[in-house]
Chain A
Amino acid sequence: MNKRLIYMDHSATTPVREEVVEAMLPYLREYYGNPSSIHFAGRTVRRAVDEARAKTAELLGAEPEEIYFTAGGTESNNIILRGTARKHGKPGHIITSSIEHHAVLDVCKDLEADGYSVTYLPVDNYGRVQVDDLRQAITPETFIISIMMANNEIGTLQPVNEIAELAQQRNILFHTDAVQVGGHLPLDLRSLKADFISLSAHKFNGPKGIGLLFRRKGTQLAPLYRGGGQERKLRPGTENVPGIIGLAKALELAVAEMEAQRKQLENLRSKLINGLLAIEGALLNGHPVERLPGNVNVSFQHIEGEAVLLSLDLEGIAASSGSACSSGSLEPSHVLSAIGLDHATAHGSIRFSLGLGNSEADIDYLLARLPRIVEKLRLMSPTYYA
């Protein structure tokens, strides 16, 4: 009997849509030219890259020259934070949050070691940054604020519009890591006054190894790499053409289906949250409603997350955990610690991130198995009846 396989780890990565694969294939086969070449092979590809850029820009409410293709979210964050820091020079002050992805946090730590100062804003128990805290953290040397649009672990949405307005009033740059939001929730750069955003295609059913950064006209970034003139010298290196084509196609499909998909995911999310909270000793992490449509994060008391993940995996269900034991470090997730969870509760966390292809039947399948898994592990736990 074939075991049913259910993928609920879409915040880690998503399957590439068939239409995206189809759109990319010609650029792996017949259209292999280098877009910088002036001959026929290069010109065809240049045209395709230009069109993909124009389409991507339009979908985001940006101008084509404000879009720079990169290798993904991590590279975008690095180019933006290091690039603005280098342009600004020292002394300089950065404000970010304590729940950013490591691709922002660790860059900030690096910049701190380089002599910049950084404020890591705390968050409330739901994982939200308080705009008043941000206002108070601003100093005359603050040159950039970097706050993610939605958290990858607990899904909490941040008040980025308010933050962007505050940054604009104070003449400070604003960057938002929108990797978890792109393709899932509306992202219109005409209304959101961000100076920089980072996106990654594989989070919205596009290919891996391709992302983008948005740089609003008039802002400046010192490039990190030297090389050719690609991406207007901000990210030199021959373009990842199939990736760029795939990103644009994936974003186009995601935006076209966004409203329907969002409703579907929010329904599945509610069903899953209700089912999980019916299990004794289960706690919801993150905000009840101000969260990514597909994100569910719960902690089970008295058991450890990796053991739950492993048991789920044996049942053919893929999820993830903020437990140290599954992360390759000894510390539990910095995000779960920042929202005030004690070590044991953070260790017992499980994230289900739903996406395209998940159905009610998947939720039923999971909920039919998880209570038994939790019970079995608890019966093994010395702290359960203690």
Chain B
Amino acid sequence: MKKKMTIEESFAKLDEMVRALESDEISLEDSFTLYEEGMKLLRDVNGRIDEVEKKIRKVEEDGTTEDFE
């Protein structure tokens, strides 16, 4: 699907899901589906930041990088 959602778009989508979940119209089955989707999206969003502290990389002319300092 749209795997290329930005974090901001993901947040917007999640807000939408939360609103849907809180509405009365949604069926229980759909709410489970939404919940699963939402949690997946959340994990995905969290996963965008692989939590390793990053040193500055120096970019060379040819596009190769090396540690800075």
Verify that A and B bind, or say they do not.
Answer: no
B residues sitting closer than 8 Å to A (CB atoms) are: none
A residues sitting closer than 8 Å to B (CB atoms) are: none
